[in-house]
Amino acid sequence: MEGPRKRWTDAIIRPVKKTLFGEEDYSGASPIPADLDVAPIEDVARDVCALGWDDWRDYAFAREPLNGRLDDVQRKELMEAAYGCGTSWARRIAGELGSSDPLDVARGLGASVAFEERPHGQDRVLFAEFVEPDQIFVYGDALDKAQGLLDKPEVRELVGSRLRPQPLLVAHEAYHLVELSHADEVWSQTHRVDVGFGPFHNRSRLVILSELCAMAFAQELTGLPYSPYVLDVLLTYSYSAMAGTSLYREVMGYQPKDMEGELATQWQPAND
């Protein structure tokens, strides 16, 4: 008999380029160069917070096993649909439960939310995890380190007051419970893409859609003015400035060349 199925939100320093949210294994990770110049945290926070929802498209889909079978038009359409799915479900669930507080939402959906110091029997850094069918674990040891970075005045001024890792992670994991309880109507579970392999075609589910919708769900519940993918970079940076810099450069490498040099001067702090 199979044990409980786990989804986890984790900060994995090696390989550095695995996403912090979800369980997709991104095999494209590369070693961190020994001579990598560490980027100042102010530059990192300013630039990633300036990115819009669609700016994370290539970064997100790089973690999709079937990414090579998709074109840019499909990816853009899927990003838009995922955002619509996540936000609409956040509004629906918050309306039904009478609260948009992530903890209220998670518990209202039937989840037990446990706050522990660190995961048992794990040799890696974990921030939170969802264990089917209804358990969410949040780990303080990792969050304390991340919170220490975000509480630096120069960082908090840039990321704004709404970026709070614990509620954001709980909201993200709560979406996976929505998927379980409404599997026949949640777009991230029902949508299929026509994927061609030579003369053969198959209607396939993309695993990244679940994570994208969870991001939008969490963003809507918490009122965050930018994508929760920002945490991928900042939480990694909180454990290793070098690893965080490598991930930051990957993210910015997906941006148009005429945009990269302008982000730092165009961004205004999100203080709401």
Average pLDDT, the chain: 83
d(Cα 217, Cα 248) in Å, to the nearest integer?
23
Which residue would you say has higher pLDDT here, 140 or 256?
Answer: 140
Is residue 9 predicted with pLDDT exceeding 90?
A: no
pLDDT of the residue at 33: 65
Q: Are strands 112-116 and 125-131 parallel, antiparallel or unpaired?
A: unpaired
Q: What is the chain written as a DSSP string?
A: -----EEEEEE--SSTTS-SSSS---TT--PPPTTPPPPPHHHHHHHHHT--GGGGHHHHHTT-TTGGG--HHHHHHHHHHHHHHHHHHHHHHHHHHT---HHHHHHHTT-EEEEESS-TT--SEEEEEEETTTEEEEEHHHHHHHHHHHTSHHHHHHH-TT--HHHHHHHHHHHHHHHHHTTTT-HHHH--EEEEETTEEEEE--THHHHHHHHHHHHHHHT-SS-TTHHHHHHHHHH-HHHHHHHHHHHHHTS-HHHHTTHHHH------
Q: Is the pLDDT of residue 175 over 60?
A: yes
How many residues appear in the chain?
272
pLDDT at 239: 85
Model pLDDT, residue 262: 45
Edge-first strand order for the sheet with 125-131 is: 6-11, 125-131, 135-139, 112-116
Q: Does residue 15 carry a pLDDT above 60?
A: no
Q: Which residue has the tokens 């450069």?
A: 249
- Between strands 200-204 and 193-197, the pairing is antiparallel
What is d(CA 3, CA 83) in angstroms, rounded to the nearest whole number? Answer: 32
Q: Looking at the predicted structure, is the pLDDT value of residue 264 above 70?
A: no
Residue 141 reports pLDDT greater than 50: yes
Where residue 68 falls (left for φ over 0; alpha for ψ -120 to 50; beta otherwise) is: alpha
Where residue 14 falls among pLDDT bands split at 50, 70, 90? Answer: very low
Query: Any idea what the Cα angle at residue 141 is, between residues 140 and 142, rounded to 5°?
Result: 95
pLDDT at 29: 45
Task: Report the pLDDT value the prediction gives residue 13, as an integer from 0 to 100.
Answer: 29
Choose between 32 and 130: higher pLDDT.
130
The closest of 18, 48, 23, 54 to 173, measured between CA atoms, is 23
Task: Kindly indicate the confidence band of residue 203, based on its pLDDT and cuts at 50, 70 and 90.
Answer: confident
- Tell whether the model's pLDDT for residue 47 goes beyond 70: yes
Over residues 72-122, the pLDDT tens digits come to 999 999 999 999 999 999 999 999 999 999 999 999 999 999 999 888 766
